Structure 1
Amino acid sequence: MKKAVVFGAGVSGKGSEKTLKRMEYEVFLVDDKIGLSSKDGMEILLNDKIDLFIKSPGVPYTELVKKALELGIEVIDDIELGYRYKKINRISGKIIAITGTNGKTTITTKTQELLEKAGYKAKVCGNIGYSFSETVMENPELDYYVLEASSYQLENVKEFKADISLVVNLAPDHLTRYRDLDHYYNIKFNIGKNQKENEYFIVNTSCTESLKRESMISGKKIFIGMNKTDKNECVWVENGSIFYVDEFILEEKLASLKGKHNLENMLFIVCIGKLIGIPTELIREFLYSTKTLEHRMENFFSYGQVEFINDSKGTNIDSTRFAIEAFEQPILICGGYDKELDLTPLEKIILERVKEVYLIGDISDKLEIGLKKIGFSEERIFNLKTLDKVLEKLKSRIDKNYKETILFSPATSSFDQFKNFEERGKVFKNLVKSYFN
């Protein structure tokens, strides 16, 4: 019997474990909290003949991973395992693979909803929902697997390829994991690593860093962008409308997904829909009526004329910049885990477009110092460290008879105070309702 080590017992790791057992592997699940310890894992690597090592995406390259590589054991991730399972079992469903710094969850979720509306069987998987390998194993009848892939999940791609791949955009992030920005951006392009000319790679011409990596694309390039350029985009924006080739698709102002970032997301959704052959009328109707995602520019509560927006999914600077630009002088709540990024772009957009700022988390002191340095007045900065203290302060300052937008968009990840952005968003929503109901 073949043997495999799965390192990390999160959603991805548990999915890999199930898939490997179905493939008749003996599986050792290593996780220092709920599985075998790393020390036990090291003993297994040294004393058993291990055929495969599955590294969960959130797991860093510890001594255990390095030892597996040193011993010549193949190290892969769950999406590579899922692709191999699909290939071995001749599962015919097509893969739509989506990555990027911002917008990938919206595009993934809305693509799956559009496919279902058009009558296809489809599920989201990967970075959201279930692991890719488990989804393929449990749902061999699907027409489409809509896979959201983080850079972490793309680090160990060997054979994996998709029928349609795309990189939404590239912006600074995850510098605690990667050598530099080029390293991070190049990893993202592994999503199209093995494509052939009969498989599509959608290229965003509005993203300079994506265009720089055009030579890394082996599939058939389909260009989209916010403007028509010499790349002859097949989907673009003109006079407030989205077009595909020579066909009008929809008016931006009538779409239910608002903001510049969502306009970019819709270009991808339209392109995917048209490549698959979904009728224009159905795409238009869908994008005019679909609802925003929880934790992504979610207008969830009104207190008189005061609107509360939950954008906990805003986990990097570019994402929060897009959120700020969607409103007129919002009151911003931001901060969280220190990713060791340059905060200057965030400080500048706050100076230009934010009325007041309430700071939380590890980067709150750093942000306060940076904002004061560039001239953001001290009386408009409230460094309160936690969401509870922020909402308590806002309750004493907000008048519901005056129109205000309270925007919670952290601009970084949540790991200093929360398990993930979902938990952070739920805590925020509950606190708002508790203080303002």
Structure 2
Amino acid sequence: MKLLNDYKNKKVLVLGLGKSGYAAAKLLQSMGAIVTVNDRGDLSTNEHAKDLKASGVHVVDGGHPLDLIDQSVALMIKNPGIPYTNPLIVKAEEIGVPVVTEVEIAGRLSEAPFIGITGSNGKTTTTMLIGEMMKGSNFKPIVAGNIGTALTSVVQKATNQNVIVAELSSFQLLGTRQFHPHVAVVLNIFDHHLDYHGTVEKYAAAKARITKNQTSEDALVFNADSERVLRFIADQSNATKVPFSLKGRVENGAYVADGTIYYRDEPILKCEEMGLPGEHNLMNALAAVAAAGVYGVPAKYIADVLRSFKGVRHRLEYVDIIQGRTVYNDSKATNIIATSKALHAFPGKSIVLLAGGLDRGNTFDALIPDLKKAPIKAVLLFGQTQKKLLDACQKAAIPVIKEVANVEEAVPEAFALSKPGDVILLSPACASWDQYKSFEQRGDIFIEEVNKFR
């Protein structure tokens, strides 16, 4: 880690005590900053809060007092999910206090170069693939970021012999200023998080920050099949362009031709040999191939990873074949696009779909064409969106539609409505918070219930 004096004896306010807030507070205090942590929740029993207080960090909970911000504060580090309409952030920006996310701090302090991965869908799978592929070179990858490990915790141990492979959300990127990955990967841009960003243009602008500070000595790996990625990001970038495409040969990049994955015209492996199902995972694989290729990872090792990699927990995760049914846990499919992709991952197989969850105000009409096209035998619906999904399924003429209380009740119904050779798929198209603490808990419960039928 670079030892900078930038923060010594400077007042820093950390807004939001999550994983990233805790890691950032610890790191900045170790560098001599005078740190205050603020969270609107009750932190009286929070172990991280107790640890910070014991080490001398000032912790304020139960609200956001405006007097925490004045011109004596040198920096605010915000939790990515806190909107910029928060009164403390509004005041900070009004009086000129810089507001960043921990990604910015990690980028300034890291000795290790970054591979940054962003996009509306596929980030986690692509990040994990790149991490596995990088093990096949002389680099020592550290996988972190939006995938679950705070970047400010990993930069403390990273050296110039490492590469940090970082999953980055639009929320995280919006709070960057000088962040400069050596390789930036942009997968796609869909109409996501518009309740936060306001418009797709602003959402894309947040994503574009991943390449804002890149030069021709850096690489932008981008989806050449996405008009939005081209228009909003690739066309504006100063980096060396490394495209990937499912539609055929691209110059200096990764592509599919005649059922084979290529990188810079070198064959890597047949598409049918991939360990992950679905066209969307083929696109993720191309992005990973291109990013690893930039670093010179041998083609043989890239191919070995693509054959052996079976997926990320809760992202179209293969569970097992149970009573002849092939079971997949796609609990991380918290939006329509993710579920749409999952429905097309099993050509020729009849699907029993489990879906539903938190109501964010949207309809599911956009899912109707996919519901019609996929060979769906039955759908089991639960959660707040049950009635909205019921309407979409009826319009799609799904032959069997059942409403159930939750995932626990859906699983036995799924076995009853399916037969050997069918696919049982949990792909909710919704967030989990109406009934479960997280999509991880929802997926774990699904697997527990499924295992009762072994």
Say which of 266, 279, 292 aligns to 1:260. 279
Q: CA deviation at 1:30?
A: 0.9
Residue pair 2:113, 2:181 contacting (<8 A) in 1 also: yes
Q: CA 1:399–1:364 in 2, change beyond 3 Å: closer, same or farther?
A: closer
In structure 1, how many angstroms separate the alpha carbons of the residues matched to 2:407 and 2:298?
Answer: 45
Query: Structure 1 stretches (4+) deviating beyond 6 angstroms?
Result: none
Asked whether 1:424 is paired with 2:442, we answer yes
Residue pair 1:317, 1:346 contacting (<8 A) in 2 also: yes
Greater percentage in helix: 1
CA deviation vs aligned residue, 1:46-87 (integer Å, no higher than 9, x gap): 5x821110011122231122122222211000100111223x
Say which of 7, 11, 14 aligns to 2:19. 11
CA deviation vs aligned residue, 1:8-41 (integer Å, no higher than 9, x gap): 1111111111221122111111112225226464
Deviates more, 1:102-111 or 1:385-394: 385-394
Residue pair 2:127, 2:143 contacting (<8 A) in 1 also: yes
Q: CA deviation at 1:209?
A: 1.2
Q: Secondary structure at the match of 1:137?
A: coil
Partner of 2:80: 57
Partner of 1:352: 373
- Corresponding residue pairs, total: 425
RMSD: 2.0
Partner of 1:391: 411
In structure 1, how many angstroms separate the alpha carbons of the residues matched to 2:278 and 2:358?
Answer: 26
Residue pair 2:357, 2:435 contacting (<8 A) in 1 also: yes
Q: Secondary structure at the match of 1:105?
A: helix
Which amino acid in the other structure matches residue 277 of structure 1? G
Say which of 185, 194, 198 aligns to 2:204. 185
Residue pair 2:119, 2:207 contacting (<8 A) in 1 also: yes
Question: How do residues 98-247 of structure 1 correspond to structure 2 at under 5 angstroms?
Answer: 98-140=117-159, 142-213=161-232, 214-228=234-248, 232=251, 234-247=253-266
Asked whether 1:307 is paired with 2:326, we answer yes
Q: CA 1:224–1:233 in 2, change beyond 3 Å: closer, same or farther?
A: farther
In structure 2, how many angstroms separate the alpha carbons of the residues matched to 1:305 and 1:105?
Answer: 29
In structure 2, how many angstroms separate the alpha carbons of the residues matched to 1:375 and 1:128?
Answer: 34
Q: CA deviation at 1:204?
A: 0.8
Which amino acid in the other structure matches residue 427 of structure 2? S
Residue pair 1:347, 1:367 contacting (<8 A) in 2 also: no
Which amino acid in the other structure matches residue 14 of structure 1? Y
In structure 1, how many angstroms separate the alpha carbons of the residues matched to 2:365 and 2:10?
Answer: 51
Q: CA 1:259–1:349 in 2, change beyond 3 Å: closer, same or farther?
A: same
Q: CA deviation at 1:293?
A: 1.8
In structure 1, how many angstroms separate the alpha carbons of the residues matched to 2:126 and 2:261?
Answer: 16
Deviates more, 1:343-352 or 1:25-34: 343-352
Residue pair 1:172, 1:341 contacting (<8 A) in 2 also: no
In structure 1, how many angstroms separate the alpha carbons of the residues matched to 2:314 and 2:161?
Answer: 28
Q: CA deviation at 1:433?
A: 2.0
Which amino acid in the other structure matches residue 269 of structure 1? A
Q: CA deviation at 1:343?
A: 2.1
Q: Secondary structure at the match of 1:117?
A: coil
TM-score normalized with structure 2 length: 0.88
Asked whether 1:370 is paired with 2:380, we answer no
Say which of 88, 98, 102 aligns to 1:74. 98
Partner of 2:305: 286
Q: CA 1:40–1:317 in 2, change beyond 3 Å: closer, same or farther?
A: closer
Q: CA deviation at 1:399?
A: 5.8
Q: CA deviation at 1:347?
A: 2.2
Which amino acid in the other structure matches residue 274 of structure 2? A
Partner of 1:26: 34
Q: Percent identity?
A: 31
Q: Secondary structure at the match of 1:237?
A: strand
Which amino acid in the other structure matches residue 433 of structure 2? F
Structure 1: gaps (5+ residues): none
In structure 1, how many angstroms separate the alpha carbons of the residues matched to 2:160 and 2:230?
Answer: 36
In structure 1, how many angstroms separate the alpha carbons of the residues matched to 2:11 and 2:121?
Answer: 37
Which amino acid in the other structure matches residue 355 of structure 1? K
